[in-house]
Amino acid sequence: MREIIAGIFICMGTIVFALSLLGIYRLKYVMNRMHAAAMGDTMGLGLVVIGLIILGHDVFHIAKYILMILFFWMSSPIASHMIGKVEMLTNKDYDERVHGK
């Protein structure tokens, strides 16, 4: 039973990863791509790690997974923030591109 629930979570996470990859491949603009990539980093990783936590053996095993998620959920938004900032500062057509003026 435990394995089946964990398998469902991991499969859902993998599907989210596949969707985010598809998004990165299909979308053309940096901001849109960031949106797609963030989905895999947050929801996809979260679902996969929940599945692995259900399969975990002991407390330390689970604590490592939680640390992994904490690290990713701290570092990935900062990286996205920096990418977005650089795009905003360097792209001359930013207003036109984003607000459609």
Partner 1 sequence: MKEEKSFWRKLNAWINGEEALIHADEYIARREQPKKRQWLKRPNIQEIKSNKGLYWFLCVLISIVFITIMLLVVSNLPTFGDPMDPANNEVMERYLEKGIEETGAINFVAGMILDYRAFDTFGESNVLFLAVICVLMLLKRDKKNISEAEDKEIAEDEMLDAADHKSILKVGAKYLSPLIILYGIYVILNGHLSPGGGFSGGSIIGAGLILYAAANGHKKMQTFFTFKTFTGISVACLLTYCACKSYSFFTGANHVGYAIPKGTPGNILSAGFILPLNICVGLIVAATMYGFYALFTKGDI
Residues that bind partner 1 (CB under 8 A): 71, 74-75, 78, 81-82
Closest CA to 20 of 75, 65, 80: 80
Closer Cβ to partner 1, 29 or 71, answer by number: 71
Least CB distance to partner 1 at residue 12 (A): 28
CB 34 within 8 A of CB 84: yes
Least CB distance to partner 1 at residue 99 (A): 23
Closer Cβ to partner 1, 31 or 72, answer by number: 72
Tokens 């996470």 label which residue?
A: 13
Write down how long the chain is.
101
Q: What is the biggest distance separating any 2 CA atoms in the chain, rounded to whole angstroms?
A: 56
Least CB distance to partner 1 at residue 72 (A): 11
